[in-house]
Amino acid sequence: MHSCCARKIIVWSLCLIFSLSHSILVCGSSPPKHLCRQDQRNALWEFKSEFPLSGMAADEKTQTWRNNSDCCSWDGITCDPKTGNVAELNLWGSSLNGPLRSSSGLFKLQHLQILDLSSNNLAGILPDSIGDLKYLRVLGLSGCNLFGKLPSSLGNLSDLTVLELDGNGFTGELPVSLGNLKQLTKLLVASSKLSGNFHHALLNLTELTAINLVSNQLEGTLPSNMSSLSKLEYFDIGSNLFSGFVPSSLFMIPSLIHLKLERNHFNSLLEIGNISSPSKLQTLSLGGNRLSGPIPGFISKLVELSSLDLSFWDTLRGDVDLSIFLHLKSLTSLDISTLNTRSIVDMSLFSHFESLSILSLSRNTVKFSSTLHLVSPIGSLAVASCNISEFPKFLRTQTSLFYLDISQNQIKGQVPAWLWSLPGLAYVDFSLNSFTGFDGPADVFQRNEIYLLDISSNAFQDPFPLLPKSITFLSASDNQFSGEILKTICELDSLETLVLSNNNFSGSIPRCFEKFNTKLTVLHLQNNRLSGEFPEESVSIGLISLDVGHNQLSGEFPKSLMNCTGLEFLNVEENKFNDTFPFWLRVLPGLQFLVLRSNEFHGPIYSPEGSINFPKLRIFDISKNLFSGALPSDYFSGWSEMSSGVYTPDNKQKRFIGIGFSNYVKSVVLANKGLEMKLLGEEATINKDKEEDQVLSWIAAGIAYVPGVFCGFTIGHILTSYRHDWFKRIFHYFS
């Protein structure tokens, strides 16, 4: 989102610059005619030569540059029509590969006013020399893989209006010198690793209209008087570590439209008496903080609000005056999940909202009357853990519904057939209820475009439903399905996650998972009664997590696992595999869990030819097999992760790795020196909120700067790779 806006800003500023400097020049007209200056051309040529050209990528603008032509006509260059100086260099997404050197030709382009090198791989630091480009008005370096500290010389760019550095790996504090940039209107440094406080120097930047520091590691309190930022429209510091008061002065900034403070450690919000002028606030996100006590009534005065997130506000089992929301007629998105209130949320409260589309009420007690009718078309409804015992009938007319999370309730019986007549339904989570089956014929929803279906932990019985081809995530674990795994699973097109564990499936493993190639990353079939071999054709090379433990599989261990270079988790415990130790697994660089326990593996686990070396391995269990031979004392010397000490939830790097499957790992039984212990999945050790932050920052870092990509590809990817109940937040985050 930010990139898109920033691009508009860049284009717009460009127009402005030219219309000011040359009032007859119409923006968008043909390039100026006179030649660029030789020193400028040489500097550009030098800059170009600093990056190796692959000659492959069609987007390498510098490849079209020709030394014998006017550099003002080169792709990505705009010259000042009067002086012939290069005024703009725009090499956005041009496949530049390599660090910016401090002696780069770039810094000889002393007259640059606009520099945009976003979406290139400039892996390295941002040199101090950036401060030499003293006429810069717009600097765009988003998604460039830059790291290290932000140079304080940025504070020399006194004409700077837009500083856009989202999605890099910058560390350290925001330089205090930024307080000198009196013209700055946009300060965008989202998704890095910045630490330190929100410095008071920033309060000097009175022209600022947008501050985006989301997804960093900033901490401390906000200044109590922020009213000097009197032109601020957009303020996003979500997913940081800020604490203390939310300053009431923020709410007094009359221009403010979007205020996003979610997922910090803020612990109090003062009741704000009379808001001086009518508030323009459209977005208020306070969710995932440590706010507690009554929900302040002044929220009802923010009548322009379109998106309100109060999730995880701890009312300490108090009452919530839900009528305050009735004043917010423009709401499109409301998240009041997890309020810890004894009030019952009666859905009829939302009957008269006209544009409400995203509604999250999870972990409150929710009441639906049988005659409930909502005027507005709901797209996303989350009512997980709401003490619901009957399938909500009002959904029958909600033809815009695409996301439904009704997990962790007490619904019994069959999933109604009419649900599948909602044409847009794509993500459904029925997990942790007492459903027994699907009403209607076996193919009742086979023609829907469902991407995510979670029916785990219910009482579903045969027949197993016929699945839509579109499914990417399927979890049907912990039910009572039996018989062979339907071969129709092989006809799906896009399967990424398949979890059928803890049922009563028998017969052999379908010989088709190979076809899903790199897509299928999670395959969990543990604790069924599957037998026969594990065929090579059942291995898809994209696997990250494979669990077939507690079955009756026999024969050799499938060697094609060798090709699954992303494999992190491999559990085949309690089967009858009869093979030698799979030394060949050492080619898997990321393997963290290897459990072969209780099989018929035999022979040595030591090979004198080459030491086996599992650098990332954290859990290794080969007990209850028939292994024999010597075990040299230095056997584990190359297993650096194993010897690096204790796994702690604070170690973000390690925590991050586990996310891909933390939702499905139920438990692994491990034997240590003859003692068995049950290790719960990572869920047990990880603070959910924190983990979520990590994912959000990763997501932001990965896609915020690739405009257009998000909608097409990433939603599906996020959904299937990560806990789908984050979906709404993510959706919210980018909407």
Ligand X SMILES: *[C@@H]1O[C@H](CO)[C@@H](O)[C@H](O)[C@H]1NC(C)=O
- Residue nearer to ligand X on the CB measure, 145 or 434: 434
DSSP result, 533-586:
---GGG--TT-SEEE--SSEEEEPPPGGGGG-TT--EEE--SSEE--B--GGGG
Q: Compute the distance between CA of residue 281 and CA of residue 460 in angstroms, rounded to an integer.
A: 46
Q: Is 172 left (phi over 0), alpha (psi -120 to 50) or beta?
A: left
- Cα distance between residue 718 and residue 568, in whole Å: 18
How far apart (Å, rounded) are the C-alpha atoms in residues 523 and 520?
A: 7
Q: Is 688 in the site for ligand X (CB under 6 A)?
A: no
Interaction of residue 559 with ligand X, rule CB under 6 A:
yes
- Asked if 563 and 588 touch (Cβ cutoff 8 Å), the reply is no
* Closer Cβ to ligand X, 389 or 687, answer by number: 389
Per-residue x/- track, 224-263, ligand X (CB under 6 A):
-x-xx-----------------------------------
Tokens of 144: 């460039």
DSSP secondary structure, 111-146, as one string: T-SEEE--SSB--EE--GGGGG-TT-SEEE-TTS-E
Instruction: Identify which of 622, 630, 539 has the alpha carbon closest to the alpha carbon of residue 579.
Output: 622
* 567/585 Cα distance (integer angstroms): 10
From the list 411-419, 442-450, 463-471, 557-565, the region that binds ligand X by CB under 6 A is 557-565
Among 563, 580, 611, 685, binds ligand X (CB under 6 A): 563
In whole angstroms, how close is the CB of 561 to ligand X at the nearest point?
8
Closest contact distance (angstroms) between CB of 578 and ligand X is 4
Give the residue, chosen from 28, 55, 273, 608, that forms a contact with ligand X under the rule CB under 6 A.
273
Closer CB to ligand X, 298 or 593, in the complex: 298
Is 664 exposed, middle or buried, given 0-12, 13-18 or 19+ CB atoms closer than 10 A?
A: buried
Residue 495 Cβ vs ligand X, minimum distance, rounded to whole Å:
20
**336 or 425: CB nearest ligand X:** 336
Min CB(156)–ligand X separation in Å: 4
Of these, 153, 311, 315, 362, which contacts ligand X (CB under 6 A)? Answer: 153
Nearer to ligand X, 344 or 680 (CB): 344
Stretch that binds ligand X, among 152-160, 186-194, 397-405, 612-620 (CB under 6 A): 152-160
Determine how β-strand 146-149 pairs with β-strand 138-140.
unpaired
Site mask, ligand X, residues 363-382, x = CB under 6 A? --x-----------------
Residue 317 makes contact with ligand X by CB under 6 A: no
Task: Report in angstroms how near the CB of residue 487 gets to ligand X at its nearest.
Answer: 17
Min dist. Cβ of residue 176 to ligand X (A): 7
- 595-624: contacts with ligand X (CB under 6 A): 600
Q: Give the integer Cα–Cα distance in Å for 580 and 628.
A: 10
Contact between 131 and ligand X (CB under 6 A)?
Answer: yes
Using rule CB under 6 A, residue 73 touches ligand X: no
Question: Toward ligand X, which CB reaches closer, 114 or 345?
Answer: 345
Taking CB under 6 A as the rule, does residue 129 contact ligand X?
no
CB-based contact 407:381 (threshold 8 Å): no
Which alpha helices (H) appear in 117-259, and where do they start and end? Answer: 248-251
- Nearest residue (CB) to ligand X, 305 versus 386: 386
Which of 88-96, 105-113, 222-230, 236-244 is the region at the interface with ligand X (rule: CB under 6 A)?
Answer: 222-230
The contact pattern for ligand X, residues 158-187, with x = CB under 6 A and - = no contact, is -------------------x-x--------
Going by their DSSP bridges, the two strands 86-90 and 77-79 should be labelled as antiparallel
Q: Should residue 274 be labelled a site residue for ligand X when binding is judged by CB under 6 A? A: yes
* Residue with Cβ nearer ligand X (265 or 602): 602
CB of 517 to ligand X, least distance (A): 10
Closest distance of CB 67 from ligand X, Å: 4
The nearest distance, CB 252 to ligand X, in angstroms, is: 9
Give Cα 402 to chain centroid, integer Å: 20
Q: Name which of residues 43 to 72 contact ligand X (CB under 6 A).
A: 45, 67
Q: Which is nearer to ligand X, 402 or 460 (CB)?
A: 460
In the complex with ligand X, which residue's Cβ is closer, 348 or 446?
348
Nearer to ligand X, 280 or 412 (CB): 412
The stretch near ligand X (CB under 6 A) out of 28-36, 394-402, 560-568, 703-711 is 560-568
Kindly indicate which of the ranges 53-61, 79-87, 374-382, 554-562 contains the residues binding ligand X, using the contact rule CB under 6 A.
554-562
Rounded CA Rg of the chain: 29
User: For residue 618, what are the CA distances in angstroms to 647, 657, 691?
Assistant: 9, 12, 19
- Shortest gap between Cβ of 177 and ligand X (angstroms)? 5
The answer to whether 639 and 613 are in contact (CB under 8 A) is yes
SS (H, E, C) 462-473: CCCCCCCCCCCE
Q: Binding of ligand X at residue 517 (CB under 6 A)?
A: no
Task: State the residue for tokens 């906000």.
Answer: 222
* DSSP 8-state assignment for residue 711: I
Length of the chain: 735
Among 387, 436, 446, 470, binds ligand X (CB under 6 A): 387
Q: Residue 711 — left, alpha, or beta (φ > 0 → left; ψ -120 to 50 → alpha)? A: alpha
Range 501-513 burial, b when 16+ CB lie within 10 A, else e = bbbebeeebbebb
Kindly state whether residue 200 participates in binding ligand X, applying the rule CB under 6 A.
yes
Least separation in angstroms between residue 503's CB and ligand X is: 9
Q: Which residue has tokens 């459990």?
A: 595
Alpha carbons 315 and 269: distance in angstroms, whole number: 13
By the rule CB under 6 A, 201 interacts with ligand X: yes
Q: What is the CA angle 195-312-360, rounded to 5?
A: 115
Please identify, among the stretches 231-239, 332-340, 433-441, 555-563, the one whose residues bind ligand X according to the rule CB under 6 A. 555-563
Say how far apart CA 653 and CA 456 lie, in whole Å.
29
Answer yes or no: are the C-beta atoms of 258 and 280 closer than 8 Å: no
Q: In 10 A of CB 162, how many CB atoms?
A: 22
Cβ neighbours, 10 Å, residue 518: 12
For ligand X, which stretch binds (CB under 6 A), given 53-61, 463-471, 556-564, 632-640?
556-564
- Measured from the CB atom, the residue of 406 and 700 that comes closer to ligand X is 406
Using CA atoms, how far apart are residues 79 and 96, in angstroms rounded to an integer?
A: 21
Which element (helix H / strand E) includes 669? strand 667-672
Q: Which one of 156, 306, 333, 625 is in contact with ligand X (CB under 6 A)? A: 156
* Interface with ligand X, residue 504, by CB under 6 A: yes
Note the residues at the interface with ligand X (CB under 6 A): 45, 67, 131, 152-153, 155-156, 177, 179, 200-201, 204, 225, 227-228, 273-274, 365, 387, 389, 480, 482, 504, 506, 559-560, 562-563, 578, 600
